[in-house]
Chains A and B, each alone.
Chain A
Amino acid sequence: SAVISQKPSRDICQRGTSLTIQCQVDSQVTMMFWYRQQPGQSLTLIATANQGSEATYESGFVIDKFPISRPNLTFSTLTVSNMSPEDSSIYLCSVEILGTARYYNEQFFGPGTRLTVL
């Protein structure tokens, strides 16, 4: 299994500012992901955070708006840039554990960061 922590757990920000969310995993993992969950909605994948290279973004998400860093196998950051009220969401970090029979392709999620943009 994997234990994932995120900082901050919640924040209230002003329009036009940026917020960087940190994700820390207690073990080295190959694959890390960032999701967004807007109020009352399901989860939407933003991007795959690749260690040592640029993140891979899903349709509708761009690097200028959501820059991602992945300096090593246990840590990643997601920045929400030039925020607007529409960015108010829960942002979740996730990792995938591979290779063991019990946990084949199992994904673990962090507790999320609840962002409110005024």
Chain B
Amino acid sequence: DAKTTQPTSMDCAEGRAANLPCNHSTISGNEYVYWYRQIHSQGPQYIIHGLKNNETNEMASLIITEDRKSSTLILPHATLRDTAVYYCIVRVGTGANNLFFGTGTRLTVIP
């Protein structure tokens, strides 16, 4: 069952920051928030994950609210190659049986 809700689609102007929201109001204390993306005709690609603290890597930043009930993935300077479906997933432990891909957000970066 989906533990996250995301908008179906979003547009973002090229060069601007893309902010993708995710609600996970039933998240448990030991569940991490993961973000993956899937560019058309490719396998999903890991972006970032976090537990409580905000995280940043070379691809994106992840902002998790203090109550952990929602988070935002930020692509600081969106490019056309960032056009993809972005999946927000909450999971604990190992094994793919708790890596549930919901419907995701289709981000379109507009020139």
Contact = CB atoms under 8 A, between A and B. Distances in A.
Nearest to B100: A45
Interface of A: 4, 31, 33, 35, 42-45, 48, 58, 92, 94, 96, 98, 104-112, 114
B44 A109 contact: yes
Interface in B3-62: 32, 41-46, 49
Contacts of A42: 87, 101-104
6 contacts: A31-B94, A31-B96, A35-B96, A45-B97, A92-B43, A109-B43
Contact of B95 (A31, A108, A111): A31
A6 B44 CA distance: 14
B45 A107 contact: no
A107 B99 contact: yes
Nearest to A99: B94
Most chain A CB neighbours (cut-off 10 Å) among B42, B45, B87, B103: B42
Contacts of A104: 49
